[in-house]
Amino acid sequence: MNETLATSMTPAFLVTTLSVTVALLATIVLFIKEYTRLRRLRREFHDFEENWKQEMQKTQKAMQRVVASYQISDPDQRIKILESAVAIDPRVYNGYNALGYAHLDKGDTAGAVDAFKEAIHQHPEQIEGYCDLARAYLKQGQESLARKYLARAEGIDASAVRQGLQGDDFLEHLLDK
């Protein structure tokens, strides 16, 4: 029996056994690393999902306030609810635009200009903020600034600007024909 054990302990056998052991250990180490990485990714995904849910809830809450403001006739009350909407989510769709129009209805063109500028800051790819700011500037008698912002809106989507201002006697005449 000792002879069998001695013959099985040849250098080739020992090298093979060592190689298999090292490969097995390397596989275990790789498995542990991958398992750890997958757990981290799962935790990061869970955190992302929770943050996304919270952001969606904030956006919905802000949007409900913007929509509710459309039913309020008193400009001061509209301004109050719209300011609370943009405080919850500054990127809420139409939040600053509606706030600007509430200021215009109150006769506060400076407040409207500030709100429309913020609408442009929050959504520079949307033409509405530029057109609304042009309207506020024209109400202030600043035709050159009104033209400037209409031109910027046209630079984003000229056909949408022209279509949106069709029949708008206040702004349409500023468009280059």
pLDDT tens for each residue of 82-98: 999 999 999 999 999 99
Binned at pLDDT 50, 70 and 90, residue 8 comes out as: low
Binned at pLDDT 50, 70 and 90, residue 4 comes out as: low
Binned at pLDDT 50, 70 and 90, residue 10 comes out as: confident
* pLDDT attached to residue 6: 57
Please report, for the chain, the start and end positions of each structural domain, with discontinuous segments joined by +: 2-51, 60-174
Assess contact for 127 and 160: CB atoms under 8 A.
yes
User: Is it the case that residue 3 has pLDDT exceeding 90?
Assistant: no
Fold of domain 60-174? 1.25.40
User: Is it the case that residue 1 has pLDDT exceeding 70?
Assistant: no
* pLDDT attached to residue 12: 85
pLDDT in tens, 105-143: 999 999 999 999 999 999 999 999 999 999 999 999 999
Q: For residues 40 and 102, what is the distance between their CA atoms, to the nearest angstrom?
A: 48
* pLDDT attached to residue 175: 85
Mean pLDDT of 61-86: 97
User: Is it the case that residue 177 has pLDDT exceeding 60?
Assistant: no
Mean pLDDT of 3-29: 84
What's the pTM value of the predicted model, to 2 decimals? 0.76
